[in-house]
Amino acid sequence: MSFRTQHSWRRQHTVKVLAAAVLGLLAVSCGKNRVLLDVDVRSFMDENTLTHPYAAPPLVPFSARLDSIAVNLVEGFQDFGSAQSATLDIGVDYANEIGTGSGRFTIYFSDDAATAPSTPPVAVLDVNLSPDTVSRSEAQIQADPRVLDLFTQKKFWMSVQMEWFPTGAEGLVGTLHISEVRVHLVSTLDIFG
C-alpha cells in the first residue's frame, strides 16, 4: 500500500469515527439521558458492624441499635441531574441456635447522623426464628420521595435497629448478619446543562 493510499484510508476512517461519535452524542441528547447507579451501602459499613451475636432473655424483648453510618456517594453525583427512582434491596441472615420467637431489622436513612434513628423507617424486615435454623429476611423496597432526595446529596446517614422477641422459656441465642444493603438509583443526566 502506498503512502498516499494509507493516508487516504486513515482520513476516511477518522471521518467515519467522528461521524459515529456525533451521531451517538445526538442520540444521547435526544433520549432520556438516564444514569443507572448501583450503590452497595453495606460496603460503607465497618466489617465489625455486619455481624451481631444476640442473647435475648426468655419472654423479654431485646433490642440493639447501631451508631449512624455515613454513606458517601460519588463525588459530584448531585451534578448528574434529578433522581427519578430508587429501589433498595435489603437482606439479613439469622443463625438462631436456641429458642423460638421472631426478629425485626429496621433501617433508617437521614441527612443527619443524630436524627437518623428518629426518621420514618425505610424498611422493616421481620423473620420467624427456630432452634438450629438459619433464616433469611429480605425485602425490595421502592424509595419514597424523602429517601430519593437523599441520593441527590453527596452524603447521607444510615441507622439500624435490631430487635428480638422470644416466645419460649429458653430465650433466643444466635447471630445476625447483615448480608445486603444495596440501592439501585435511576437519575437523569443533563449533558448540556
Arithmetic mean of pLDDT, 33-45: 82
Q: How far apart are the first and last CA of the chain?
A: 47
Burial (0-12, 13-18, 19+ Cβ within 10 Å), 62: middle
Average pLDDT, integer, range 34-41: 82
pTM value is: 0.74
Pairwise pLDDT comparison (49 vs 129), residue with the higher score: 129
The pLDDT mean for the chain works out to: 81
Instruction: Reply yes or no on whether the pLDDT at 68 is more than 60.
Output: yes
What average pLDDT score do residues 43-62 get? 89
CB 158 within 8 A of CB 143: no
When mean pLDDT is compared across 43-57, 68-82, 117-131, 172-186, the lowest value belongs to 68-82
The owner of cell 441472615 is 93
**pLDDT (average), residues 118-141:** 95
**Domain 32-188, architecture per CATH:** Sandwich (2.60)
Domain extent listing, the chain: 1-31, 32-188
Q: What is the pLDDT of residue 120?
A: 94
The per-residue pLDDT for range 134-188, each reduced to its tens digit, is 999 999 999 999 988 887 787 889 899 999 999 989 999 999 999 998 988 888 7
Kindly tell me the burial class for residue 2, based on how many C-beta atoms sit within 10 Å of its own C-beta (0-12, 13-18, 19 or more).
exposed
Our CA dihedral for 34, 40, 41, 43, rounded to 10 degrees, sits at -150
